[in-house]
Structure 1
């Protein structure tokens, strides 16, 4: 039984070392191989969870074989319980929170309709300028044109009225500023 435990421990450690050293290479080479495990049914059987359980099973088996007076069946059962406990812990403490933390900073141009922006490059009456739009903690520069066909000076607060062909069509946000620009 000791050979089995050593085999499990070595397999888990080798998997960890290979993952750390060649993780990106393996990820690209085996792209999609473990995708079946990300479905709803086998979600807990991800490689990280499985191999952490295998490693702990092997390590616990070795320690209990050497330092306890239990029989082989008791040690095997205790090792499996330890492996299951660590696998559940790894899943709920590391894997699950990491899945929830995956997010994108991407946005749709249509999301910009109704947002307030500041003109950073003046918008001529019949042409294009540039606006600075604040998006969450960041900002984005976008090409803009006047929705009303009027010139808008730099520093003016504007609101996005519509988006056409990747261009924001904006109108002055403050009516007082609008009358100054006439």
Structure 2
């Protein structure tokens, strides 16, 4: 039992160090769903399982089954905590200027060049960490003045179809 816990502790530490210095180990974990099974979370869980198992075996009166169950519970809770406290906030903080024009559907925008009822104008859309301006037309075929708040309803031929935001 102690050999398993020492092995998990050592493997988890080595995996964490390898992930730190090499990255995601060349895509070795791409088969896992990356929402919850990030390599750093997996390494943390294995490390916590080994460490908790060693501590429980040495300092508790639990039987082996109880030790395994408690160590697994500690690993699951530690992995979840690591995911929600470290991994998810780090992913949310990543900014990129790359986007697809199809991603703009449903986004709010502001008219910066008036849009006539049967013509084109220009809107400013907040995308990622910056703003982008795009050619737009009125989806409902109504004139939209400069400064009007709109929402992108559709994207067709790289032209945004916008509607007044009420």
Q: TM-score normalised to the size of structure 2?
A: 0.54
The alpha-carbon deviation at position 30 of structure 1 amounts to 1.9
SS class of match (1:132): strand
Aligned partner of 1:157 in structure 2 is 148
Residue 59 of structure 1, aligned match among 51, 62, 84: 51
Aligned partner of 2:23 in structure 1 is 23
Aligned partner of 2:8 in structure 1 is 8
Contact persistence 1:117–1:157 (CA under 8 A): yes
Aligned partner of 1:82 in structure 2 is 70
The alpha-carbon deviation at position 142 of structure 1 amounts to 1.2
Q: Aligned partners of 1:158, 1:140: CA distance in 2, in Å?
A: 15
Q: Aligned partners of 2:163, 2:114: CA distance in 1, in Å?
A: 13
Q: Aligned partners of 1:162, 1:51: CA distance in 2, in Å?
A: 43
Contact persistence 2:6–2:51 (CA under 8 A): yes
Structure of greater Rg: 1
Q: Aligned partners of 1:44, 1:170: CA distance in 2, in Å?
A: 37
Residue 106 of structure 2, aligned match among 108, 111, 122: 111
Number of residue pairs the alignment of both structures matches: 156
Q: Aligned partners of 2:142, 2:46: CA distance in 1, in Å?
A: 68
Aligned partner of 2:133 in structure 1 is 141
Aligned partner of 1:176 in structure 2 is none
Contact persistence 1:54–1:83 (CA under 8 A): no
Tell me the C-alpha RMSD between the 2 structures.
5.2
Contact persistence 1:158–1:170 (CA under 8 A): no
Q: Which runs of 5+ in 1 are unaligned?
A: 174-182
Q: TM-score normalised to the size of structure 1?
A: 0.51
Q: Aligned partners of 1:172, 1:59: CA distance in 2, in Å?
A: 58
